[in-house]
Structure 1
Amino acid sequence: MNIFSVLAIFLAAATANGYSGLPHPLALASSFSLIYHELDNINLGNCSLANATLPLNATKYPLPEPCRNLTLKHVALGRGTQNYTCPLDASSNPQSTIKPEATGAVATLFDASCIVSASESLLHQVPGIISTTPLGSLAFMAALVAQGTRSTNLIVGEHYFDAASDPVFDLSLTGSNSWIVSTKKASVPAPYSTSESGDDVPWLKLGYKKGQNIQEVYRVVTSLGNPPSTCAGQNSTILVPYAAEYWFYG
């Protein structure tokens, strides 16, 4: 079975039995326990990124292209939360027009290099599915696939913001000691291709501040993550689920 077939089963499981999203975690676990037995011939650790194409033309105004001296090192799927805060007085005021303030994000990064090497169009469907999937269910799926394919780990790193409010990507689980503290270089609105609500966070190009083996990061094919329009009736801390593709160049 090839990786396209595995993801096809994944997508089928996501819409089975009348669910609009992924099934309950126990049903999801059952689905992947069946897939596990089909995976012996796949090795997700040996997938070339030579022909992968960053989807810059999907937005009305494309992000700047990667610097010419850089090559694509990793592609990951990020699943986590975009984080916001509201003043207490605004949260308790049903008429408040104050907007939530962004305070960063956290996400688990899953290896997507083999998916993009097999089918870019299939990869681009995944953020819209996993943006509402419980993270524990995704981690369980990754563990099953990694064990069944003799891959070391499909969870390759984490994304968070440091004390200086800079976005950090730590890919140390890839075994390459790759990491970057980045800074925003460009932003364009998402093309509303992954959710009907238009609540997808912008696509970004991030540049280098400090790090190792990574010089640029692109956040593309985002799903969800935008905050409520105002703080009225919201908690002082708002965690909004999201998913995105992250492309790493070095």
Structure 2
Amino acid sequence: MFSKTLLFAAALVASVSASPCKPRASGIPLPVLPSTGAVDLPAPNPSCALKAIAVGHGIQNYTCADGNATPVAAGALAVLYDVTSLYPGTPSTGLSKEAFNALTTSTLWGSNIPLNLKDPEAARPGTPASPNNGMPPSSYGAVVADPFIAPADLPQPDGAPLKFLGHHFFDAAGNPTFDLSTMNLRFSVGLKQSVDVPANADRGILDTGAVKWLMLNDNGKGLGNTGATSQVYRVITAGGVGEACSKEGAVPVASVPYTAFYWFYAE
């Protein structure tokens, strides 16, 4: 399994797509956003600072009006784990570039979906050779009234657990929200720009493809506490693309497992 994760990550281009925001202490590397190897997202706001890097693990939701429709995005749910200290070059705790970039794939395939699913059996990923993808889309959906399990760190086979950081969800008005509860930071954002994923991106448990990389800016509604210039980037995604409506038919909500890195910037 881990050899597969390295295979996905090793082909990612290591060039930089963004300039560091602000100086850091001597000896600590300046984290820079990864590159798709083609068209990249714009650099972060120069007035910002990197607050955290997280791996998000959860589901992307879609609706299908009928079997001839195109899946329409309908929000997401994910648990966020802090991987800031694992950034390559960080003294004592940093991973290799290949191992760091592979965290989304290793988390997707190596951990149960950390949500209260309508069908608990759907939480198990299976393996790349035998994925747990034979269930109807409703099986991967979360319990609406109580989607999140109790906060917990994520065990790792080789190293310390990934620390619980918070939750990603869409609020009642449909605003993408990131509640980094352990840092008392809340980002309420809107889509600014998206780019296509690398050709070798992990297609996920349902083999539907990896969701696009995104730049999300503060939505200006005063719903967060991180300021008007705050930004969230979604990069190195695995899975999450909706299944074809021709396969699912008319469904109110179809859910697809995914993982992604989230980089959080604020003044």
Q: TM-score, normalised by structure 2?
A: 0.64
Instruction: Select 2:99's aligned residue among 122, 131, 134.
Output: 122
**SS of alignment partner, residue 205 of structure 1:** strand
Which string of whole-angstrom CA distances, capped at 9 and with x for unpartnered residues, describes residues 141-200 of structure 1? 83657xx96x9x8111000011221100000123xx111100111100111333255700
- The 3 A distance-change label for structure 1 pair 231 and 143 is same
Matched, 1:106 2:93: no
Paired residue for 2:190?
183
Larger radius of gyration: 1
- The 3 A distance-change label for structure 1 pair 144 and 190 is closer
- The 3 A distance-change label for structure 1 pair 125 and 144 is closer
Which string of whole-angstrom CA distances, capped at 9 and with x for unpartnered residues, describes residues 108-136 of structure 1? 00011121131343221111222243124
Count of aligned residue pairs for this structure pair = 194
**SS of alignment partner, residue 129 of structure 1:** helix
Deviation at 1:230, TM superposition (A): 2.4
**SS of alignment partner, residue 248 of structure 2:** coil
**SS of alignment partner, residue 190 of structure 1:** coil
Matched, 1:83 2:61: yes
Cα distance in 1 between the residues matched to 2:28 and 2:200: 24
Cα distance in 1 between the residues matched to 2:179 and 2:165: 8
Cα distance in 1 between the residues matched to 2:37 and 2:215: 13
Alignment gaps of 5+ in structure 2: 6-26, 115-123, 126-148
CA RMSD between the two structures: 3.0
Cα distance in 1 between the residues matched to 2:29 and 2:186: 21
Q: How does 1:1-250 map to 2 (within 5 A)?
A: 11=2, 50-55=29-34, 57-87=35-65, 90=66, 96-116=67-87, 117=90, 118-119=94-95, 120-132=97-109, 133-136=111-114, 142=153, 154-174=163-183, 177-195=184-202, 199-209=209-219, 210=222, 211-213=224-226, 215-234=230-249, 235-250=251-266
Which string of whole-angstrom CA distances, capped at 9 and with x for unpartnered residues, describes residues 201-245 of structure 1? 000000012322361100000001001122443444211000000
**SS of alignment partner, residue 241 of structure 2:** coil
Cα distance in 1 between the residues matched to 2:57 and 2:176: 15
- The 3 A distance-change label for structure 1 pair 60 and 236 is same
Cα distance in 2 between the residues matched to 1:198 and 1:241: 10
Cα distance in 1 between the residues matched to 2:107 and 2:43: 27
**SS of alignment partner, residue 227 of structure 1:** coil
**SS of alignment partner, residue 32 of structure 2:** coil
- The 3 A distance-change label for structure 1 pair 144 and 232 is closer
Alignment gaps of 5+ in structure 1: 1-9, 16-47, 91-95
Tell me if structure 2 keeps the 8 A contact 1:86–1:231. no
Cα distance in 2 between the residues matched to 1:104 and 1:52: 28
Tell me if structure 1 keeps the 8 A contact 2:210–2:237. yes
**SS of alignment partner, residue 80 of structure 1:** strand
- The 3 A distance-change label for structure 1 pair 131 and 144 is closer
Cα distance in 1 between the residues matched to 2:236 and 2:208: 13
What fraction of aligned residue pairs are identical, expressed as a percent? 30
Which string of whole-angstrom CA distances, capped at 9 and with x for unpartnered residues, describes residues 62-84 of structure 1? 10000111111100000000001
Paired residue for 1:3?
none
Tell me if structure 1 keeps the 8 A contact 2:171–2:177. yes
